[in-house]
Structure formats: C-alpha cells, structure tokens
Amino acid sequence: MPPRIPRRAMLALALALPAPALAQVATLDTAITSAAALPHLRTLIVACDGAPVLERVFRGPGLDRPANIKSASKSVLATLVGIGIARDVLDGLDQPIGPVLGRAIPPAADPRVRDLTIRQLLSMRAGLERTSGANYGRWVNSRDWLGFALSRPMEDTPGGRMIYSTGTSHILGAVLARAARRSLHALAREWLGAPLGIAIPDWMRAPEGVHFGGNEMLMSPRALLAFTECWRNEGRHAGREVVPAAFVKQAWTPQARSAWSGQLYGLGWWIGEARGQAVYFAWGYGGQMAYVVPGLKLSVVMTSDPAVPRANGQVHTLHTLLAESILPAMEATG
C-alpha cells in the first residue's frame, strides 16, 4: 500500500508556485510574452476542452515535428502499463516481476528484486540505488542496461521511500515488453498511436535490444497534446476508452514524495496544485512538459531544447508560466 500523505502535505508540497497579484491582467498575450522570453522554450500549446486556444513555435522544430520528450516518456510508459493490465498482458499492479524477467535478473542481484511489483516500479519505490543523476553516465555506458539496473544495491526497503531512477522505468519497460512478447514501440503504436491518431516514431534501444524505458521517446507537440487530452478525458478519446479510467484515478493518486523536489508522485505522473486547481503533469529533462488541469478542462504542452545543461530553477520557470500567465487567462475566459 502507498504511504499515507496528509492533504495538508499535498497542498504544501504541490507546485510551490507563487500566487500572482489579483490585479494582474489575465490574457494569453501575457503568456505569449512571458513564454517568448524563455530562451530554451520551443513550443507552447494551450487547449481548453479539447480545442487549442494557443499554438506557438518560438524556436526550433514545428508543432508536427517529433521532439525528444525525455522523462515525460515515463508517463507514456505508465499509460502502456495501465493498458497492458486492462488487456491481461500484465496481472495487475501487484504482480511480481521475477516470473516475467526470469534469467534476465542477474544472479548477483538482491534476492528481493524478484519480488518487486509493477506498482513499486511505477511509483519509484523499488528501493534500488538510482541510475539517474550522478550515476546516469556509468549506467548508459554499460553493455546491459537492464542487468545493470536490476543489480543495483538496495538503498531502501521495496515499497519504501521514493528513489527517482530512469533505470527503474527501464526495468518496467522490459517487463511489459517481455510479458507482451512485443517491443515497446510496437505496443505504443498499437495501443496509443492508432487510437489517438498520432505518430509515435521509433526511439533508442538499449544495448541489450530493449527500447529505452522511460526516456528518449519521440512525440510531436501536437501528438503530446492528444496524449495529454486523453488523460484529461479520463482515458477516453473520441468517445472510446483508450486508458482505463480506474487506472487514470490510480495514477493520479499520490504514492510517494520526491526528497529532491518535495513534489508528489503517483504512478508515472507528478501531482501538484496551482491557484487552487489540481495539476497533474509529465515532466521531462530540459522542460518537456504536459500539464492537465481538470478543473479548467485545460491541457498545456511545452517542449524545450532537450540538450541544455541542467540549471537551477529551469523547470520552476515553466511552472510559473503556467500559474502566473496561463491559468489566470483561462480563469478569466472561463
């Protein structure tokens, strides 16, 4: 079971965005001006109740060109897992991974690895030493990314605290691909691309042949908007269920809290609040963002240069753009 997170903590640890002055003029012109001033922001789409009200390209590729969405891929992977559960490819969130991975688990791995569950991987509570941050380079330079991630030492009890790690997502992607006996790209095209009417190009594979799970996926800003809108509509697109509504609810229920950012995390999605509105978002390195604000029927997509060096406050500027410029404008028009 996920740790109990008091509602007071949810609010305090939300997006942590400053409230704009009540006298601020709330127009999307303000959002455009603010967005244009961000040197690495490439595109911005704002859609209300499914209809784009703002589409801008500030620099870089256009709205229909594939963009590297970096770790926003984790929200896409979580979506595929939810669909896989509904299709009986996976047995459920509490299914252990050992029987699926079998001999792919290195003999030297901690014995508890075999009992890790889908839920623990999705919520970043596997307990394994992270492969992100300072450990990322050593991991991606290894000859077997899956084996490397599985053989990390346990830093916490499985199901304990959140340890954000792209290696954990890579394990999850391998579990899904093995259970389905198909590549992640094939699943993404069939389960998401076809029903949403979007192109999902092939993306990087690890040296062992498994598609990179949780990073480096490619989607155009408009394709990412269609994905985001599907989640805003509780998993439906054009009247058809694509993602089970029950899984959407589970994914947007807090499971853990990041020790680094203080942000709440569900199942592959970040969870916050801005201007009294619940906000759910996918977050990729450099500023690849997909925000859902259900209370305003709002979806917002931002893509940025994925190759810029990490900088303090980089993502905060995009959160601020949402809270101080976009949300006031949409509240005024709603």
Torsion angle of C-alpha atoms 264, 267, 270, 273, degrees rounded to 10: -70
- CA 212 from centroid of its chain's CA atoms: 14
The CATH number assigned to the domain holding 16 equals 3.40.710.10
Average pLDDT over residues 280-290: 97
Identify the pLDDT of residue 334: 65
Cα 313 from Cα 113, distance rounded (Å): 35
CB neighbours of residue 31 within 10 Å: 24
Report angle CA 318, 267, 165 to the nearest 5 degrees. Answer: 75
Measured CA distances, 212 to 4, 73, 77, 172, 193 (Å):
32, 9, 10, 10, 18
pLDDT, tens only, 138-182:
999 999 999 999 999 999 999 999 999 999 999 999 999 999 999
Residue 2 lies inside a defined structural domain of this protein:
no
Report which secondary-structure segment, H or E, holds 280: strand 277-284
10 Å CB burial of residue 135 (0-12, 13-18, 19+) is middle
Residue 269 lies inside a defined structural domain of this protein:
yes
Query: How sure is the predictor about 25, in pLDDT bands with cuts at 50, 70 and 90?
Result: very low
Residue 1 lies inside a defined structural domain of this protein:
no
Report angle CA 200, 206, 209 to the nearest 5 degrees. Answer: 85
What secondary structure letter does DSSP report for 309? P
pLDDT, tens only, 109-140:
999 999 999 999 999 999 999 999 999 999 99
For residue 334, give both structure tokens: 């709603």
Owning domain of residue 295: 7-333
Identify the pLDDT of residue 145: 98
Query: How sure is the predictor about 26, in pLDDT bands with cuts at 50, 70 and 90?
Result: low
Measured CA distances, 195 to 2, 186, 200, 204, 243 (Å):
32, 13, 12, 23, 10
Identify the pLDDT of residue 314: 76
pTM confidence score? 0.92
pLDDT, tens only, 61-91:
999 999 999 999 999 999 999 999 999 999 9
Residue 214 lies inside a defined structural domain of this protein:
yes
Residue 57 lies inside a defined structural domain of this protein:
yes
Residue 136 lies inside a defined structural domain of this protein:
yes
Q: DSSP string covering 114-132, please?
A: GG-BHHHHHTT-S-BPP-S
Residue 198 lies inside a defined structural domain of this protein:
yes
- Total domains in the chain come to 1
What secondary structure letter does DSSP report for 215? S
Residue 185 lies inside a defined structural domain of this protein:
yes
